[in-house]
Structure 1
Amino acid sequence: MKTQTTTAINFNYNRASLDDAKLRSLYRAMLKPRIIEEKMLILLRQGKVSKWFSGIGQEAISVGVTSVLEKDEYILPMHRNLAVFTTREIPLFRLFSQWQGKANGFTKGRDRSFHFGTQEFHIIGMISHLGPQFGVADGIALANKLKGNNKVCAVFTGEGGTSEGDIHEALNVASVWQLPVLFCVENNGYGLSTPTNEQYNCENIADRGKGYGMESHIIDGNNILEVYTKLNDLVESMRKNPRPVLLEFKTFRMRGHEEASGTKYVPQELMDEWAEKDPLSNFENYLLSEKVLSEKIIEEYTAEIKQEIDENLDLAFSEPMIEPNETIELNDVFQEFEYKEVTENKETAELRLIDSISEGLKQSMERHDNLIIMGQDVAEYGGVFKITEGFVEAFGKERIRNTPICESAIVSAAMGLSINGFKAVMEMQFADFATSGFNPIVNYLAKSHYRWNEKADVVIRMPCGAGVAAGPFHSQTNEAWFTHTPGLKVVYPAFPYDAKGLLATAIEDPNPVLFFEHKALYRSIRQEVPTDYFTIPLGKAAILREGEAVTIITYGAGVHWALETLNELSDVAADLIDLRTLAPLDTEAIYASVQKTGKVIILQEDSMFGGMASDISALISENCFESLDAPIKRVASLETPIPFAAQLEAQYLPKNKFKQALLDLIAY
């Protein structure tokens, strides 16, 4: 059965040295997703699938890219790349199960359509925010380059996605680091309903390659032979000479952004023009004219594919619906981590907080030869706080990597490193700058294991806090942004001993960890710290003082403010809890203390509303209400940005308010 009746051939096909078998293979690879899509559109109208993003008219790109890559080379597809999945020969019943939210899919019903990845088939799941995919590809390619395995990877986006800042950041990083990535832009005319002339103001997206210092090419995305032969040559060259290549595929989207949106915004003459350039029917007519295909072969292919579709649909339809199980849902947020205690040695040295972090990082680098440190100025300069000073000499520039000023792309690259077998520590130069990398932290790192069982073996170091006259953009303590996000672990040590042991554990843990380091404590706090590598479990608070009168709960600089206050008030018998880890939170220690003392004061440096103190207060109210002898007291900074001038900063911080608040609570 032919795909259309016309015998016109609208492309200049050049088969080069491709034999008949290869030509038929490429044809069948395009035919399969087309027939699947036609079936899915019927099922969509019947209400048997909930949503569909069509790639009809763009199959040549996905087939061509996937066909030139080896099966263990990663591909990062998008909504319209069904042919990537079928060319990688994923069993159809698993795809159908995925689209119906069944257990045999790749996301256990937790995400839809093509929002998934699979290490088995070396395909990495997209997120709706689009841009981070390019940065993740950077990380995967960096890992390949570090392994020296001569592998490349390919990542897709549409022309609309190229307007996102993450895309620009990732292209720049790939060029600076000469990473072997095929950046594939499917220019299909419209970003949802917005035409290209309202998306960008250059003639071709490929023209941007010059600005990035990157090789770029324009390829007819509807001509399968041009796609395949050009990419085959490029990939072979990239394996020998690793480098990024920007590819703009000229194509068209023949259906809506997704089926519900339709195509009424597209002029009919444009639809007609591109219909004549259909990649499948043109290639079919060419192969018929060359006697490579026959009507009989086409009918056989079509019958085989339809039978495969029907058999696999039956499997998917017969699969039971997922039964909600709260325990399974909660357990899948994080990858299971079996904490292994490494006991501290007896020899100690007096270290400042900053020294203990540096020593902990160094010993982790020695312990894990797959650990990479990235960040602005972390190499020869040693970081703005000199924590990685001397690391380049010890570990080399491949593992201690200066980055361009682009937090989002580097967070995403850290995720890519994790996907491809590495551990990553990223230094966020100041915790405040996490806003520039917020999207991949909360939407990629935090959600990947829950969505499709992929770990994010990433630690982000977060120098934070006030008290150093650094003003509104270098002084925030923004831990509550991240404790609110399931899938992230948040650590906030107050002492050198804790910092070293907790950092070691954070790096061991395969889950994403935000590791907060208070700048005002870097050089002001000293402590005896074991000289060798050791670990401390996450989620276990430290009880620094014990008493019956009141429970003080705090972390970070607040611990030292509380200690100063208790030293002044020698007659106050208090339990002082240093949380150390905010997510997971040691609720057992909190509840035990509250049930003993009956009075609670929670001290945080962050401003009050929406902070850690609020949630801890709510937990205590819900779980220890009958033990309370007084209202729970919270002490926090002013509800303003952090000012620069010393006297304003002192007024802003809660340190000077804590003593009176504590006395008032005890007297209640």
Structure 2
Amino acid sequence: MTKEITSIAMEYHIENLDKDLLIQLYKGILKPRMIEEKMLILLRQGKISKWFSGIGQEAIAVGVTMALNKEEYILPMHRNLGVFTTREIPLHRLFGQWQGKASGFTKGRDRSFHFGTQDYKIVGMISHLGPQLGVADGIALASKLKNKNEVTAVFTGEGGTSEGDFHEALNVASVWQLPVLFCVENNGYGLSTPTKEQYNCENIADRGLGYGMESHIIDGNNIVEVYKKVDELAQSVRENPRPILLEFKTFRMRGHEEASGVKYVPKELMEAWAVKDPVLNFETFLIENDLLSNSENTTIKAEIITEINKGLDIAFAEEPVIPDETNELNDVYQEFEYEGVDGLEKYDDIRFVDAVSDAIKQSMQQHDDLVIMGQDIAEYGGAFKITKGFVEQFGKDRVRNTPICESAIVEAAMGLSIAGIKSIVEMQFADFVTSGFNPVVNYLAKSHYRWGQQADVVIRMPCGGGVAAGPFHSQTNEAWFTKTPGLKVVYPAFPYDAKGLLTTAINDPNPVLFFEHKGLYRSIRQEVPADYFTLPFGKASVIREGQDVTIISYGAAVHWALETLNNNTEISADLIDLRTLQPLDVETIYQSVRKTGKAIVLQEDSLFGGIASDISALIMEHCFESLDAPVKRVASMETPIPFASQLEEQYLSKNRFETVLKELLEY
């Protein structure tokens, strides 16, 4: 068709679109509208708990989704019901999701659109909005690495563009030329905050220039314009991978969520946008131009009503989720069958830093698509030269220098996992993880529990004091993560353990925080198998045995304890090196304490809120009858880590340990 016709408030340029496609587009925007109208009734009846309306914005979700191939990932927001319906998710499963039923996608663990599904190549949002932008980068990177010629589309709102994640994700996508369509739905308000208080430029699309990125402004209420433009761009991006910023001009006709209302919106603004309703305009256009008859329209609506009612009947008939502690606990982590590999034929005397490097190198040989990302890790070899020479061996696709944007890189690692690729993220210093804290504790940690998606990511964390690096390069911050269900935390003290545990961390499909004490990098040597080998998580190492006291420690503090025992040969102690903090080998601890009757926990971290407190509590709860003295904890001062060596020496727990240990023995 070549006809160009004006219908009420907008023009539809339908060149090269046949009637069947136009009807398909109409059905596409009509279905989410009718579902929403039903949901608003159910909300008033108290049959669903909350609703984020996308009424008035249907053309964006539907047009973008129809322009993509079904195998291409879409990362929608909570107003993008049209993404889910266009991908033909059975309605009873959507309704079950919104009612917290088991037939939904999160088993009642999350609500509304906070879910993903590999079956439909949809990755839902989290409430923090921004992280999904970086996740899209990772999915697109996987497509590029696998030469799949696919595009990834990710949605956010104009409010979300104020988040740092938006800047980081667009910057990374531009630097790496990733095939991502960044779809910004500019609907006028972030909750009640108007755009004039959200950003100070005329159009969000104008920002594309700053990222060296192509950008376009699209009428988000015009289904034909959305579909045609996105289809054109998607085809182009498949052939020439690159990111594109799309700003869809639209309006939110209802509140942020129904409870908030729209009293803060000027009446004349609501009236102006009501005239531009995407569903009513397109319906009128089709009928007025003999592309859709009234009887056909009636039939289409009746079929959708039938589908909605059938889905609701199934969802309402389903029994509520039955709480089961075992099921809940078992779904926190992806199941991992540890496979022990000995590699014990030949040993080399190597440093801790060499053991870490060997583990990564041999793992990259084991997993031929494993990617490592971090600042300065390519030609420079990383701040500690752990990846020196890796670019020459594995290439820049797999050994990737990153911009300084920890959040986007953690998110990209999550995206790689969704697309089936393992990755390692090197934090230049463990301290810098704060810049990527949100995606670690809210995205990586919770994805498997929420919707069964593994986060196959290892985050390497060079940490620790004793090297006069000051408050921003010396923290040992493992306690931030040991209390976060869904994360595993590893903290070796010896080269042998570092290599064997790091290879296991990379094999494990769950997110692992791997702490490497930088003070040990070049100060500790050990005989380590030259070949690839693994060690199990959750198994502590008893490196000294005795009768009088149990010493429990990890990381550099293990060496402080060894030094104390070497200087006090009369002390008969079990010295337990925990090696992994999550999972924690409590049985080895309990067995030792029941034998010795006394326990002391030594950590480098400051005392309050550290893992020593939990270990002490566990011992008190499970070994109380065996104790001959209170459990003692020794930790660093309750201050940030100072720079001057004499202040740092005072800060660290090392010099207080011997005194407390002897006091405990004399109790």
Establish whether TM, by shorter chain, passes 0.5: yes
Structure 1 segment 190-269 matched on structure 2, within 5 A: 190-269=189-268
The DSSP-based 3-state class of the residue aligned with 2:123 is coil
Q: Structure 2 counterpart of 1:628, which letter?
A: L
Q: Provide Cα deviations, 1:266-323, integer angstroms capped at 9, x if missing partner.
A: 0111000000000001111111122111111110010000000101100000000000
Query: Deviations 1:400-436 (Å, cap 9, x if unpaired)?
Result: 0000000000000000000001001000000000000
Distance in structure 1 (CA, Å) of the matches to 2:180 and 2:423: 20
2:473 counterpart letter in structure 1: H
Amino acid in the other structure paired with 1:186: E
Aligned equivalent of 2:64: 65
Give the 5 Å matches for 1:67-82: 67-82=66-81
Unaligned runs of 5+ in 2: 1-5
User: Which amino acid in structure 2 is aligned with residue 420 of structure 1?
Assistant: A
**Could you tell me which residue of structure 2 aligns to residue 14 of structure 1?**
13
Q: Distance in 1 between matches of 2:7 and 2:334?
A: 54
Q: Does 1:404 align with 2:403?
A: yes
Match of 2:200, SS state, is coil
Q: Secondary structure at the match of 2:509?
A: coil
CA distance in 1, matches of 2:624, 2:433: 37
Partner of 1:442: 441
Distance 1:303 1:284 in 2: 15
Residue 8 of structure 1: how far off its partner (Å) = 5.4
Find the counterpart in structure 1 of residue 578 from structure 2.
579
Shift in Å, 1:9:
1.6
Deviation track 1:38-85 (CA, whole Å, cap 9, x = no partner) reads 000000000100000000000000000000101010000001000000
Separation of aligned partners in 2, 1:414 and 1:8: 46
Residue 615 of structure 2 corresponds to 616
Residue number in structure 1 paired with 2:156: 157
Determine the C-alpha separation between the residues in 1 that align with 2:343 and 2:634: 35
1:344 Cα deviation from its structure 2 partner: 2.5
**Equivalent residue letter for 1:569:** N
Question: SS state of the match for residue 520, structure 1?
Answer: coil
Query: Aligned partners of 2:35 and 2:447: how far apart in 1?
Result: 27
Counterpart position of 2:53: 54
Partners of 2:618 and 2:390 lie apart in 1 by: 43
Who is 1:655 aligned against? 654
**Matched residue, 2:599:** 600
Counterpart residue type for residue 33 of structure 2: R
The superposition leaves residues 81-112 of structure 1 with CA deviations (integer Å, 9 ceiling, x where unpaired) of 00000000000000000000000000000000
TM-score (normalised: structure 2): 0.99
What is the CA–CA distance in structure 1 between the aligned matches of 2:368 and 2:56, rounded to whole Å?
46
Secondary structure in 2 aligned to 1:228?
helix
Which amino acid letter does the alignment assign opposite residue 552 of structure 2? I
Match of 1:636 in 2: 635
Partner of residue 518, structure 1? 517
State the TM-score, normalized to the length of structure 1.
Answer: 0.99
Name the aligned partner's letter for residue 105 of structure 2: F
Instruction: Tell me the distance in 2 between the aligned counterparts of 1:125 and 1:209.
Output: 25
- For 2:12, what is the secondary structure of its paired residue? coil
2:286 is aligned to 287
Give distance in 2, aligned partners of 1:106 and 1:452: 6
The residue aligned with 1:476 is 475
Map 1:520-535 to 2 at 5 A.
520-535=519-534
1:550 paired to 2:549: yes
Cα offset, 1:508, TM superposition? 0.1
Structure 2 distance, partners of 1:332, 1:149, is: 31
Kindly state the Cα deviation for residue 629 of structure 1 after the two structures are TM-superposed.
0.3
**Which residue of structure 2 lines up, in the alignment, with residue 3 of structure 1?**
none
- Per-residue CA shift, 1:8-53, capped at 9, x if unaligned? 5211110010000000000001100000000000000001000000
Tell me the CA shift for residue 481 of structure 1. 0.2
Cα deviation for residue 249 of structure 1 reads 0.1
Output aligned runs, 1:309-328, within 5 Å: 309-328=308-327
Instruction: Confirm whether residue 492 of structure 1 aligns to residue 505 of structure 2.
Output: no
Residues of 1 paired with 2:129 and 2:34: CA distance? 27
**3-state SS of 2:124 partner:** coil
Q: Distance in 2 between matches of 1:250 and 1:125?
A: 22
Are 1:85 and 2:81 an aligned pair? Answer: no
Q: Residue 3 of structure 2 corresponds to which residue in structure 1?
A: none
How many equivalent pairs are there? Answer: 662
Structure 2: how far apart are the matches of 1:272 and 1:644?
A: 62
Which amino acid letter does the alignment assign opposite residue 137 of structure 2? D
3-state SS of paired residue (2:435) = helix
Identity across the alignment (%): 74
Residue number in structure 1 paired with 2:506? 507
Question: Aligned partners of 1:638 and 1:345: how far apart in 2?
Answer: 41
Match of 2:419 in 1: 420
The residue number in structure 2 matching 1:296 is 295
The match for 2:103 is 104
Partner amino acid for 2:460? R
Instruction: Please tell me the residue identity of whatever aligns with 1:632.
Output: V
Cα distance in 2 for residues equivalent to 1:543 and 1:125: 45
Alpha-carbon distance in structure 2 between the residues aligned to 1:408 and 1:233: 31
RMSD: 0.6
CA distance in 2, matches of 1:216, 1:241: 15
Question: Residue 4 of structure 1 aligns with which residue?
Answer: none
Distance 1:246 1:648 in 2: 50
Q: Distance in 2 between matches of 1:585 and 1:18?
A: 61
Distance 2:475 2:633 in 1: 19
Evaluate the alpha carbon distance shift between residue 69 and residue 8 of structure 1 in structure 2; reply closer, same or farther with a 3 A threshold.
closer
* Counterpart position of 2:122: 123
Could you tell me how far apart the structure 2 residues matched to 1:235 and 1:215 are? Answer: 13
Give the distance between the partners of 1:92 and 1:147, measured in 2 at CA.
33
- Counterpart of 2:301, as a letter, is T
User: Which amino acid is 1:190 matched to?
Assistant: Y
- Specify the SS of the correspondent of 1:522: coil
Return the letter of the residue paired with 1:655: K
- CA distance in structure 2 between the partners assigned to 1:259 and 1:594 by the alignment: 57
Task: Show CA shifts across 1:518-567 (max 9, x none).
Answer: 01000000000000000000111000011110000000011000000000
Match of 1:521, SS?
A: coil
CA distance in 2, matches of 1:294, 1:209: 43
